[in-house]
Amino acid sequence: MTTQTTTPKTPSPATPGGATGLIGIPPHLGRALATGGGALTVVSTFLAWTWTSAFPGDLTVYGYPGGLQVLALIGGALTALLGLASYGVKGLRWLAPAGADPAVKFAALATLATTWYTVIAISAQLGGVVNLEPGGYLAAAATLIAFLGALALPFRHPDPDPFDPDSTSWERFRHTTAQRWGTVRAAFAPGTPRPAPTLPSWAEILVIVAVLGVALTVFTYGIGTEYDELFVGFLITAGLGFAALHRSGLIAQVTEITARHQNITICGAFVAAACFPFTQTDDQYATLGVYILIFATVALGLNIVVGLAGLLDLGYVAFLGVGAYAASLVSGSQSSPFDVHFPFWAAVLVGAAASLVFGVLIGAPTLRLRGDYLAIVTLGFGEIFRITANNLDGTSGPDVTNGSNGIAGIPDLDILGFDFGTHHDVAGVTIGRFANYFFLMLLITAVVVLVFRRSGDSRIGRAWVAIREDETAALAMGINGFRVKLIAFAVGASLAGLAGTVQAHVTYTVTPEQYLFAGTTPPNSAFLLAAVVLGGMGTIGGPLIGAALLFLIPNKLQFLGDYQLFAFGLALVLLMRFRPEGLVPNRRRQLEFHEEADAPAVLGKTGA
């Protein structure tokens, strides 16, 4: 038997540990180019990029960035700051706890993509590069220089991710030990920035407040983009900028802080969301806000079925429709065959109870199936619901749903004398109709989050996770799989029905075409499932963020026309390729997709 071992490579003298960049420029020169290019980009945003205001955003003003220049300014400033952090500047050490070199690459790429997209758009719309002013040429050259300098920087592996609050004590101990050992090694490694000291509790709470403020600002800016070019630039800057902060380790550090103060983070997130209507001057974007909350609430209910219990439900949007129809039939609509007008609390109970009953009736005979067979049956249920609602028109069947015309003329809510259909003045700010429903939907979302969190931490929640991981092993340990899955189905259906009661009053009309399996706009079953998978299955924030993105982006990309779904699908494919665990992953699922990251390296091979 002979043993072959690999000979360790000699570290490169240019960089510590032998890490090299993609081009032949020395790393120290690359840092200078990236930092200087980012600073020049900031300067260029205070110059005119074009001579005419025909291009949206009016990029003709000197000394005042506007439109897409603001995004280039943010990208350039981030590149310059990360470049300075790569030099080990003491005041910027907090910006890159895992090392700034990989983050500089993404920051420079974000700035380059946003700036060159703007330059190309100006040239295409106005008729050539002759329409560029010196500021546009300077921005294009500066971002290219910064990106070439970033390519010369060495690669470094990111530090371990922060512990998952859902993990066991042993997993937390292992992760904490790995982090401390990594900190010790980093302290003695040449060229590696030392991690920032641990903050006191009051300072960590201030960090959470600052993060929530930034999140509210970014969301408000994205939802309020006034023209198509600005929204595309926003997507580029926000996406690659988030990747840069993730590579720097700042996102991981903030995630660890929020995990230590989870209750404060959740409460602060709802307070920040409640501030959103006060940032709007009319109902134009508050409309999107209330629809996002409805979509997010339904996605969180689906997360119980898919994320916790592991049941693939392709007809979940039907439960939203059941709740909406049930509430509309008892809310005093002239199109309803029932001459009744229940108060809101009674309509909510009717909608949730109707969805609960349908969830039990559909789940009882079908939940003995597994995998693809269960998915096909639930897909069939969604189509049966839509076809049945179309046929209950008094001709093909009894007159209940008014057929394809649906239930129209649903009145606005009136709770304790508060009319949701009229404007109200709060602290000198006028709150419109959709803002009223936004606050109501925010309260319902808080209830759904509470139900999800409590049920996930309960005995039944642990049984759901056991069924999801290995149903055969769970059954062998004495878990009643059918009962556990039926409870998940029933709870998820009732939460969807709860959101459906508000949707019926917001939209005034409930029709079968609103509850398709797939379509160009949410909510539909395909988008709901994509929101759960995109955001992160089994988490609270994941479906909320995924639903917000999946509702906002298609509404903003309508200018693409027939290419809208193509661009959307391509983005999903890329996300699943590079981050299959979702934007806010559960650590267990993250390890399932990235097991090779924690596997020991093979140093040799044994042969006979």
Q: Is residue 198's pLDDT more than 80?
A: no
6 backbone dihedrals φ, ψ, rounded to 5°: -85, 140
pLDDT tens profile 200-238: 888 889 999 999 999 999 988 988 888 888 999 999 999
Residue 6, number of CB atoms within 10 A of its CB:
10
pLDDT tens profile 509-518: 888 888 887 7
pLDDT at 171: 45
pLDDT at 591: 58
pLDDT at 408: 86
Q: Is residue 598's pLDDT more than 90?
A: no
- Which residues are CB-contacts of 260 (< 8 A; sequence separation ≥ 6)? 204
Q: What is the mean pLDDT of residues 346-361?
A: 90
pLDDT tens profile 473-510: 888 888 888 888 899 889 989 999 998 998 888 888 88
**Rounded percentage of the chain residues whose pLDDT exceeds 70:** 83
- How would you write 462-486 as a 3-class SS string? HHHHHHHHCHHHHHHCCCCHHHHHH
Which residues share a beta bridge with 105? none
- Do the Cβ atoms of 120 and 143 come closer than 8 Å? no
**From CA 353, how far away is CA 355, in angstroms rounded?**
5
Q: What is the mean pLDDT of residues 180-197?
A: 46
CA 393 to chain centre: 40
Q: What is the mean pLDDT of residues 401-412?
A: 84
Q: Is residue 251's pLDDT more than 60?
A: yes
Write the burial class of residue 8 (CB in 10 Å: 0-12 exposed, 13-18 middle, 19+ buried).
exposed
Q: Is residue 439's pLDDT more than 70?
A: yes
Q: Is residue 51's pLDDT more than 70?
A: yes
Cα three-residue angle 369-371-374, rounded to 5 degrees:
45
Q: What is the mean pLDDT of residues 328-355?
A: 87
pLDDT band at 119 (very low <50, low <70, confident <90, very high): very high
Q: What is the mean pLDDT of residues 174-187?
A: 46
Q: Is residue 432's pLDDT more than 90?
A: no
Average pLDDT over the chain reads 80
pLDDT band at 587 (very low <50, low <70, confident <90, very high): low
Q: Is residue 123's pLDDT more than 50?
A: yes
Handedness of CA 22, 25, 26, 31 (dihedral sign): negative
For the chain, the structural domain boundaries read 18-168+196-259, 291-520
User: Locate tokens 């922060």: which residue?
Assistant: 162
88 vs 6, more confident = 88
Q: Is residue 606's pLDDT more than 90?
A: no
Q: Is residue 13's pLDDT more than 70?
A: no
pLDDT at 146: 94
Q: Is residue 314's pLDDT more than 80?
A: yes
Q: Is residue 282's pLDDT more than 50?
A: yes
Q: Is residue 599's pLDDT more than 60?
A: no
Q: What is the CA radius of gyration of the chain?
A: 27
Among 517, 451, 516, residue whose Cα is nearest residue 488: 451
pLDDT tens profile 64-117: 998 899 999 999 999 999 999 888 777 787 888 888 888 999 999 999 999 999
Q: Is residue 7's pLDDT more than 70?
A: no
pLDDT at 595: 52
pLDDT at 94: 82
Q: What is the mean pLDDT of residues 391-398?
A: 78
Across 219-228, 321-330, 487-496, 559-568, least confident range: 559-568
Return left, alpha or beta for 416; rule: phi > 0 is left, psi -120 to 50 is alpha, else beta: left
Across 121-125, 178-182, 191-195, 597-601, least confident range: 597-601
Q: What is the mean pLDDT of residues 431-459?
A: 86
Q: Is residue 185's pLDDT more than 60?
A: no
**From CA 437, how far away is CA 343, in angstroms rounded?**
16
Residue-by-residue DSSP string for 101-141:
HHHHHHHHHHHHHHHHHHHHHHHHHHTSGGGB-HHHHHHHH
pLDDT band at 161 (very low <50, low <70, confident <90, very high): very low
47 vs 598, more confident = 47
HSE value, Cβ hemisphere, 13 Å, CA-based, for 261: 20
pLDDT at 14: 39
Q: Which two tokens stand for residue 249?
A: 């380790």
- Which residues are CB-contacts of 418 (< 8 A; sequence separation ≥ 6)? 424, 436
pLDDT at 156: 57
Q: Is residue 159's pLDDT more than 80?
A: no
pLDDT at 36: 94
- Do the Cβ atoms of 343 and 351 come closer than 8 Å? no
**Rounded percentage of the chain residues whose pLDDT exceeds 90:** 20
493 vs 404, more confident = 493
pLDDT band at 280 (very low <50, low <70, confident <90, very high): confident
Residue-by-residue DSSP string for 428-446:
TEEE-HHHHHHHHHHHHHH
236 vs 471, more confident = 236
User: Locate tokens 């090299």: which residue?
Assistant: 20
pLDDT band at 187 (very low <50, low <70, confident <90, very high): very low
The pTM is what?
0.79
Q: Is residue 246's pLDDT more than 60?
A: yes
558 vs 453, more confident = 453
Q: What is the mean pLDDT of residues 310-334?
A: 87
